[in-house]
A = this chain, B = another copy of it.
């Protein structure tokens, strides 16, 4: 089965769960991911904990919610769609006139068919979200609103973490979020692709880097995680990616890090240039996901966000139209490949140098024709270029960029030349 189908199946399984920035929806989601990646550990941070400028909010518990119309029929039912309830709604059980009810309804007039995704994490409200078409069909009369929810001050915020040790203590950091209810691209694509990336990493014979993959609620989750791990991360993280909106088929894109030319940026640019020459580069000015926190002043982690269609840019964004039809097996597989090639490039990037002065005699090693005639030189370009540019100062990534070749396509030739004793790890880098 193509890996895209497996990722899609996982997303489908997770789709019905009502996630938020805290609560059992997150726990249920993480325990399904744990089934796929047993190395995943769960962490609970109590409500009320101070995290830099923020405080972990009460845990949200939601069981049931509906509106009964003047005719006694349920107009809206949380059972039908998670998005129907304003995220972090306080409980309510009252009967209201339509006019009073309108103050608590959220719809999107410019997209009359969809239910918008609205939340109020840090200010107590209750509310319902519905399509604008449905809202306009509501007739005057008495409406019973009922939300069986609770903001539990003794609760906690939950996140998941996978740590995969490598030869080096230097870390590659991957982040994605698990707080979005019942939406596809934003955001079941991120955690499901991240899960399969974790599976791929565990399958590798050896890893040069240590990998840390976090499944967190957006904003408060990354701020909370950073407040508990900043010292360690600043010492060890050499590159990293935030994964979001990475499952549709429309395009490839990324948000640059604040420093713009970090190793994470260079690798993402290199991979995207070769797998999707028409990819879109978004400046850090157009940030909007957890790269905001990772790159903020004083945190300064070089995290790039990898995406297919960027949040904000597609019409289904933050509505019920961002469903399982918006993402696809091929879209998810493309996103997975993008991430995998970035990590592969990081893993295999190194500094090599030639072992001879001048070009070596390749003919006597059977690596080059002994008959010199017009035109055959081109076919061995990669080999000749590696020998010309591996001078102990340039990384393989820099050389591949110079050659306008995907770094991963040079690896077999690199191996051939290492096996022939013509290339070697540069002394500076060979020492652990």
| A residues in contact (CB < 8 Å) with B | 52-54, 87, 106, 108, 116-123, 125, 219, 222-223, 226-227, 230, 258, 284-285, 287-288, 292-293, 295-300, 317-319, 353-354, 356-361, 363-364, 370-374, 377, 385, 387-392, 402-403
Q: Are B373's CB and A106's CB within 8 A?
A: yes
Looking across the interface, which residue of chain B has its beta carbon closest to that of A352?
Answer: B297
Question: Contact partner of A298 among B293, B319, B357, CB < 8 A?
Answer: B357
- Further pairs besides A223-B358, A293-B358, A299-B358: 6, Cβ < 8 Å: A108-B374, A119-B372, A227-B357, A285-B402, A296-B357, A298-B391
Q: Which residues of B contact A392 (CB under 8 A)?
A: 297
Question: Contact partner of A116 among B223, B299, B374, B390, CB < 8 A?
Answer: B374
A-B pairs with beta carbons under 8 Å apart, 19 shown = A52-B356, A53-B356, A119-B372, A119-B373, A123-B371, A223-B359, A227-B358, A284-B388, A285-B403, A288-B377, A293-B359, A295-B388, A296-B354, A296-B359, A297-B354, A297-B388, A298-B357, A299-B357, A318-B374
Q: Which residues of B contact A87 (CB under 8 A)?
A: 372
Q: Are A374's CB and B296's CB within 8 A?
A: no
Provide the bound-state CA to CA distance between A108 and B119, in Å. 74
Provide the bound-state CA to CA distance between A227 and B121, in Å. 68
Q: Which residues of B contact A319 (CB under 8 A)?
A: 374
Provide the bound-state CA to CA distance between A353 and B377, in Å. 50
Q: Are A364's CB and B122's CB within 8 A?
A: yes
Counting every copy of the chain, the complex holds 3
Provide the bound-state CA to CA distance between A392 and B298, in Å. 9
Q: Are A52's CB and B298's CB within 8 A?
A: no
Q: Are A317's CB and B374's CB within 8 A?
A: yes
Q: Which residues of B contact A353 (CB under 8 A)?
A: 297
Question: Contact partner of A358 among B226, B370, B402, CB < 8 A?
Answer: B226
Known: A358-B299, A360-B53, A385-B285. A372 touches B121 (CB 8 A): yes
A146 vs chain B, min Cβ distance (A): 21
Q: Which residues of B contact A359 (CB under 8 A)?
A: 53, 219, 223, 292-293, 296
Provide the bound-state CA to CA distance between A387 and B106, in Å. 30
Q: Which residues of B contact A121 (CB under 8 A)?
A: 372
Provide the bound-state CA to CA distance between A287 and B403, in Å. 13
Known: A285-B402, A388-B258, A388-B284. A370 touches B118 (CB 8 A): no
A305 vs chain B, min Cβ distance (A): 14
Provide the bound-state CA to CA distance between A122 and B108, in Å. 77
Looking across the interface, which residue of chain B has its beta carbon closest to that of A123?
Answer: B370
Looking across the interface, which residue of chain B has its beta carbon closest to that of A296?
Answer: B358
Looking across the interface, which residue of chain B has its beta carbon closest to that of A360?
Answer: B53
Q: Are A372's CB and B402's CB within 8 A?
A: no
A49 vs chain B, min Cβ distance (A): 14
Q: Which residues of B contact A293 (CB under 8 A)?
A: 358-359
Provide the bound-state CA to CA distance between A308 and B1, in Å. 57
Provide the bound-state CA to CA distance between A298 and B123, in Å. 64
Q: Which residues of B contact A300 (CB under 8 A)?
A: 391
A126 vs chain B, min Cβ distance (A): 12
Q: Are A296's CB and B373's CB within 8 A?
A: no
Provide the bound-state CA to CA distance between A134 and B304, in Å. 64
